[in-house]
Amino acid sequence: MIRCNSELIDPIEPRLFDVDWSRANGYIHQSGMGRGGAHILKFSGHYVVLRFFLRGGIMRKVNRDRYLRLGEKRSRSFREYELLRWMNSQGLRVPRPIAAMTAPTGFFYRAAIILECIPQARTLADILKEGPLPNGMWSDIGKTIRDMHELRVFHADLNCRNVLIDDADRVWLIDFDKSHRRKRGRWMMQNIERLRRSLLKERGMAAEFWMDDRDWSQLVTTYQASHDGRIDVSAKQA
């Protein structure tokens, strides 16, 4: 089953979910990103991202891409598709979803999603290996995350490779697999801490990494000062 959004490409070509077909027709622009599950395609004058839902960790060795069928609305691809559509309607800088697919295989299903490709954007991790961020950019990142949290969106993997900055110095958030809306709670600061750990990990592996305590403090200060004040980190997690 395929769910489509005609805002960017109309009509969408369902066979774009078939990598062999896309490659044979010259639509593949770049392949093998992020554990091999993502491809950049150029179709109908637009660059889009085709991402397959793949398992990680030990489970990946025995089951690479199948998930238990619990109804189409609960599939990984359809849930991310609907969440992205809603976040776009709220003005958040996240990719526009173009199409989502589920393919049943007995009691299981495989899934994929096609998203708008953010033009001229790079990951926060890659940018920090080359030099410091422009003035105010750490604050912009903090505000962007707070805008997401104000809408009660939990990002399941908020790390420095899922924060993008484009050539106009705009901050984008990507990869909302397993993300969802929930009540306010400690998870909000846990999201922030997850981002911090990923930055420290990248810094530990890089010859140069342009981030220090003042940069992080700027992000957190702006995050906590935005909108309705500081987060109550003692609130009960939903």
Taking all residues of the chain, what is their mean pLDDT, rounded to a whole number? 89
Question: How large is the angle between the packed helices 187-205 and 137-150, nearest 10 degrees?
Answer: 150
Confidence label for 56 from pLDDT (cuts 50, 70 and 90) = low
Distances, alpha carbon 228 to alpha carbons 45, 88, 131, 163, 213, in Å: 42, 22, 33, 24, 25
- Catalogue all structural domains in the chain, each as residue range(s) with its CATH number: 2-116 (3.30.200), 121-225 (1.10.510.10)
Percent of the chain scored above 70 by pLDDT?
Answer: 89
The β-bridge relationship of strands 97-105 and 108-116 is antiparallel
Ranges 22-31, 57-66, 74-83, 94-103: which has the least confidence: 57-66
Positions marked catalytic: 157
pLDDT for 161 equals 96
Sheet holding 171-173, edge to edge: 121-123, 163-166, 171-173
pLDDT for 71 equals 81
pLDDT for 235 equals 33
Q: Which residue has the tokens 């077909």?
A: 21
Residue 158 amino acid letter = L
Question: Is 116 in contact with 93 (CB distance < 8 Å)?
Answer: no
| Both tokens assigned to 42 | 């150029």
Averaged pLDDT for residues 64-80? 87
Which has the closest alpha carbon to 197: 189, 96, 88, 34?
Answer: 189
Q: Which of 11-15, 63-67, 140-144 has the highest mean pLDDT?
A: 140-144
Q: Is the pLDDT of residue 157 over 60?
A: yes
Taking the C-alpha atoms of residue 128 and residue 85, their distance in angstroms, rounded to an integer, is: 30
187-237 pLDDT, tens digit each: 999 999 999 999 999 999 999 999 999 999 999 999 998 655 444 433 333
Q: What is the number of other CB atoms lying within 10 angstroms of the CB of residue 152?
A: 15
74-96 pLDDT, tens digit each: 899 999 999 999 999 999 999 99
- Please say whether the dihedral angle defined by the alpha carbons of residues 222, 153, 53 and 49, taken in this order, is positive or negative: negative
220 vs 55, more confident: 220
Residue 197 in 3-state DSSP?
helix
Q: What pTM did the predictor assign?
A: 0.89
pLDDT for 236 equals 34
pLDDT for 59 equals 60
